[in-house]
Structure 1
Amino acid sequence: MKIFLLEDDFSLNKLIYNALEDRGFFVTSVHDGYEAMTQILNNRYDLYILDINVPGFSGHEVLEQIRKINKNLPVIIVSAQLEIDNISKAYDLGCNDYLKKPFELEELILHIKYHIKTILKNDVDKDIIDLGFGISFDLKDQTLYKHEHEIVLTQKEKLLLTLFINNLDKTVTSEMIHEYVWDNKEMEAVSMRSMIHKLQKKLKSGMIVNIRGVGYKLIKKDYL
């Protein structure tokens, strides 16, 4: 899962970044609203954490832009601004949660888990996803197991498998893969095909289906 973090306090930014990375999340962190706008306009994330009072565009303005792109993905505001007007404005613009500073990191993690379960419909308390044929994927640790033996994955393979699992039995377009795994950065088409092929070999033949001209699909064992 990819999380976007906007926090201008460098120390707090690093603390949150490390805490999330330690729990298996892929995190993009920025310190000002200008960079935040650039990132959210060009990349896809699963959950956003925004401070309000930051240089450049405010957290409110970043939130407003996020909601123009996607109305459903969870957005958590973390702010020392406790005035009811600021809190009300954040909710009016579409935030899902407002966490007042200072807070415990574990409190933030609990809020993240709650929104993953209720909004993204992904039960993070069930860390191990059974893919059948003795294959499982630990979403928390981003670890693939085959007959209880760990199969080494690259960072991009972890992102790709997470994307497939979050869209199990649904077509994942090449554009979705390019955006989620490569952050829309320039890449050769052969790079995507090569990574799909390598991941397929680490799973079971036939689990990843090529939807010609559209993308790929990870299918359940029941349909193989």
Structure 2
Amino acid sequence: MNILLLEDDLILNEIITEYLENKDFEVTSTYDGEDALSYLFSNIYDLLLLDVNVPNINGFEILKRLRDEGITTPSIFITSLNQIDDLKKGFDVGCNDYIKKPFELEELGLRIENIKKIFNINANILQIEENITFNTQDLILNNDGIIHHLPQKEAKILIYLVNNANKIIPHEELISNVWGYEDTPSSSTLRTYIKNLRKILSDEYIQTKKGVGYSFNKK
């Protein structure tokens, strides 16, 4: 689970980051609203932990901008604000939960686990390698932090090969499972899709068995 943490209190930021990393979450921590936006528009996150009162751009404005752009990543506001108007504003701009300072780390952990259940986070993630994941719903491949949006056919080919890793998949089997009842593609069309995937993943993963088919070599 990949989390962005925005908290301008240096000590609290460090404490939360360490707690989350000890629970095997990947954490990008930042202290400034502008930096947070920069991360958010160039990376994919599963959850946002946003302090409200931070330098330059506050948490409310950050989340409003994201929602206006159609980014629906679940979010939890971390705040010392305790007025009902502040709570209402947070939910109005699209937050999914609130945690008020001061709080126990265990409470934060419970709220994160609840968000995971509600949004079924990680259920659509195909773990290809330790540093390579593929979101089968959004068709987003994350190759060591580099994001690629795959066309549907390339995505289907990748999923089938990965799910049958380390064995040779005949051309006919691959075509049948990817194209189904659609028009059968030419050999050159299939090769083009494979070539495109190799450009993204490197040649070492998808191997060709000449005259037979392809295999995905998982380490």
TM-score normalised over the length of structure 1: 0.62
Question: 1:68: Cα distance to partner?
Answer: 2.9
Task: Find the counterpart in structure 2 of residue 91 from structure 1.
Answer: 91
Partners of 1:14 and 1:85 in 2: how far apart?
29
Write the mapping of 1:1-150 to structure 2, written as runs, cut at 5 A.
Answer: 1-122=1-122
Structure 2 counterpart of 1:177? 142
Q: Which runs of 5+ in 2 are unaligned?
A: 148-157, 175-189, 202-219
Computing the radius of gyration over CA atoms, which structure comes out larger, 1 or 2? Answer: 2
Structure 1 outlier segments of 4+, above 6 Å: 207-210
Structure 1: gaps (5+ residues):
124-128, 132-136, 138-155, 185-195, 217-224
Counterparts of 1:207 and 1:69, CA distance in 2: 42
Q: Which has the higher contact order (CA 8 A, sep 6+)?
A: 1
**How many residues in Structure 1 have an aligned counterpart in Structure 2?**
163
Deviation of 1:32 after TM superposition, in Å, equals 0.9
CA distance in 2, matches of 1:183, 1:83: 41
Cα offset, 1:207, TM superposition = 9.9
Percent identity between the two aligned chains: 38
Deviation at 1:60, TM superposition (A): 0.4
How far, CA to CA, are the matches of 1:68 and 1:171 in structure 2? 19
Q: Which amino acid aligns with 1:158?
A: E
- The alignment partner of 2:15 has SS state of helix
Look up the equivalent residue of 2:130 and give its one-letter code.
K
Distance in 2 (alpha carbons) for counterparts of 1:80 and 1:107: 15
Equivalent residue of 2:142, what SS?
A: helix
How much does 1:69 deviate?
Answer: 3.8
Verify the 8 A CA contact 1:42 1:183 in the aligned structure 2: no
The CA RMSD measured in Å over matched residues stands at 3.4
Separation (CA, whole Å) in 1 of partners of 2:11 and 2:168: 43
- Closer, same or farther in 2 for the Cα pair 1:121/1:21, shift >3 Å? closer
What is aligned with 1:158?
130
CA contact (8 A) 1:73 1:119 kept: no
Go from structure 1 to structure 2 and tell me whether the alpha carbon gap of 1:79 and 1:183 turns closer, same or farther (over 3 Å shift): farther
